[in-house]
Structure formats: C-alpha cells, structure tokens
Amino acid sequence: MEHVAPYFTFAEVVRTGSFTVAAKTLGLSKATVSKQVMLLESTLGVRLLHRTTRKLSPTAEGRALATRCQRMTEELEAAKAEVLLLRRKPRGRLRVSLPMTFGLMQVVPAMPEFLERYPEIDLDIQLDDRVVDLVEHGFDVCIRIAQMPDSSLVARKLASSRRVICATPAYLNRHGTPRRPEDLRQHRCVQYTYLASGTAWKLRGPNGEESLVETTGPFQANSSLALKTAVLGHAGIGQFPLFAVAEELKGGQLVEVLADHALPDLSIWAVHAPGRTITPKIRAWVDFLARRFASDTGWSHDAAAKHG
C-alpha cells in the first residue's frame, strides 16, 4: 500500500487553498507540505494544482482526488470516534471463570439483571473450582475465593465469608454433637478436595487458642454443593462457606456446631491479569458485583455480630 500521508496533505492544501495554512494545520513545515504534493503529482503522473503567485487551485484531476481524500479523512475520523466509543461503552464477549458453588448460588442468579443493564455484552461463564491460568485459557476476569489472591494478579475484594461447621439434626441426634474441636476425630467428616490444609481442620477458640484437628470420613468431593447434598443426607459433618449453607441454617435443615470456634475467613476477589487494559466490559462486570455484595450479605463475622 502506498504511503497515504501525501494524500491527506494534498486534501488539506485544497481545503485551505494555501500551502502555508495547510502546513500550520498539519504541524508541518511549508517545504514538507510542498514536497509531499510534488511527490504525489510525480507518483500519479498528473498535475494536481494550478499554482500562481496569487492563487492556488486544483486541476480537474486534483479536484476529483481531493474529494476522495476528504471522504477518507472523514471515514478515519469516524473510525477513531467509534473506537473511543467502544472504550467507553461496555460491549463484546466477556469470558469469566467462577468457582462452582459461589458462581451457581450467588452470581448466576444475578446475570439476568446484568445482561439487561448491559445488553451489548455477551457473557461466557465457565464454572470450575480449580485455579485456572487467566491468560492461557483466555479469561478476561475471574472470581477467586481465598484468604489472599495470587500476588501476581490485579485483585479487587468483593466480600468476605466466614466458614461454618454443620450437620443435620438427625445426624447429631444419632452420633452426638461435638463440644470440643478434638471431638471431630470421632465423627464422619466430609472433605473438600481443594481445601489448602487437606483433611486437617484449623479452628480458633473464643480465647484465641488454635487447634489443628486431623479429620476422617468416607466422602470427599471437589464441590461444596456435592458436599452439602451429602451432609443434608445425614452422611456426616462438613465445613462450608456461610454463603453456601445460610438458607439451610436459617431453615433448620442444618445446625452449626462448635459455633464458638472460628475457621479462617474466606475473601472473595475479582482478579484479572496485570498489564491488560481494563476495558469497559470488565469494569462493568466487577463494579456490578461489587455493588451487589457491598450491602450486608450476612456472611461475615461482623454481620453475625451485628445481627446476633
């Protein structure tokens, strides 16, 4: 493709009727503008301008070319404006990675509202409790639940959730209720596959004392929803993020045990890879979730204290 600068320079000369004025508008020297027009005439093999000491006017060929070049200029300006608009208006495909339980219970139900608010976003959600590489798998943003996110990522905290140990009343009536952390060793404890401490449950007592209890049980899964189903079927005792079992605790299907002992809290983060532009669609998604979880979710210790 031929260098296009002389074409735009020529169009500006015709528009202004002056090499001097065109040079000032384009931020070039008068000599550079004159040289570009002469180069264009040489390349096309036609005279484009009538030059006199008093007047500068296009030839018939020059007038036709200038008209085309002006249209090109207008198209480029329109394209530039469209790109700038795209940067401001949330639109396009948004690929999001969500942890299974939190995604299904807390995020997916809010998606109709999000899509109604941002109708030009196409949402692609993948549910997986494994930690995925955002760049390798092509995700724009993901939600991670951890005490602290990977330090190599850009993170924004959305909410906190305490964890609770619970079982059904029927299980506790049959097997007894744990009164001390070490009592858990005598119970069937269902296990979350991706728990950082494995089968060891770390608890902090009311006076700050810490216990690390090795638990056993016949069932483990990589989904809190699967574990909750098992516990609701009286299979044993489980530990869960409060957001996963709040309704069952409220309705009495589950009962919290060792309530005076705390498990480490979980933080819920929106993360994306560093060095990437925060596009309007990513910002819209993160801001939407931040607003949704900014109100009192009832999942944290502070909320429990407030309502206790």
In angstroms, what CA-CA distances link 64 with 11, 68, 71, 298? Answer: 10, 7, 11, 71
What CATH code is carried by the domain that includes residue 189? 3.40.190.290
Considering just the CA atoms, what is the radius of gyration of the chain in Å? 33
- Tens-place pLDDT, residues 219-257: 999 999 999 999 999 999 999 999 999 999 999 999 999
Instruction: Collapse the DSSP code of 197 into the 3-class scheme (helix H, G, I; strand E, B; otherwise coil) and give the result.
Output: coil
Contact assessment for residue 16 and residue 22, using Cβ atoms and an 8 Å cutoff: yes
Instruction: Assess whether 249 and 210 both reside in one domain.
Output: yes
Return the pLDDT at 1: 37
Run of H or E residues at 82? helix 60-88
Q: How confident is the model at residue 13 (pLDDT cuts 50, 70, 90)?
A: very high
The chain-wide mean pLDDT, for the chain, equals 87
Q: What is the domain extent for residue 59?
A: 4-87
pLDDT at 300 over 70: no
Q: Are residues 53 and 197 in the same domain?
A: no
Q: Residue 82 pLDDT more than 60?
A: yes
Residues 17, 157 within the same domain: no
* CA torsion through residues 267, 271, 274, 277, sign: negative
Residues 71 and 168 in one domain: no
Is residue 243 a contact partner of residue 106, using CB atoms and an 8 Å limit? Answer: yes
Last residue of a domain, one of 87, 106, 139: 87
- Same domain? 71 vs 110: no
DSSP at 258: S
Distance of CA 24 to the CA centre of its chain: 45
- Global confidence as pTM: 0.66
Among 65, 87, 109, which residue terminates a domain?
87
Q: What is the CATH number of the domain that holds 64?
A: 1.10.10.10
Model confidence at 88, in pLDDT bands (50, 70, 90)?
Answer: confident
Q: Could you tell me if 264 and 183 lie in one domain? A: yes
Question: Do 82 and 104 belong to one domain?
Answer: no
Q: Do 53 and 108 lie in a common domain?
A: no
Same domain (yes/no): 241, 222: yes
What are 108-153's pLDDT values in tens digits?
999 999 999 999 999 999 998 888 787 778 889 999 987 665 666 7
Q: Note the pLDDT of residue 302.
A: 46
* Segment 76-101 mean pLDDT: 81
The domain boundary, picked from 39, 65, 87, lies at 87
Beta bridge partners of 141: 96
Q: Is the pLDDT of residue 31 over 70?
A: yes
Q: How many domains does the chain have?
A: 2
C-alpha atoms less than 13 angstroms from C-alpha of 119 in its C-beta half-sphere: 1
154 and 97 in a common domain: yes
Q: What was the pLDDT predicted at 64?
A: 93
74 and 123, same domain (yes or no): no
Sheet holding 255-257, edge to edge: 238-241, 163-167, 255-257
pLDDT at 174: 96
Domain identity same for 168 and 282: yes
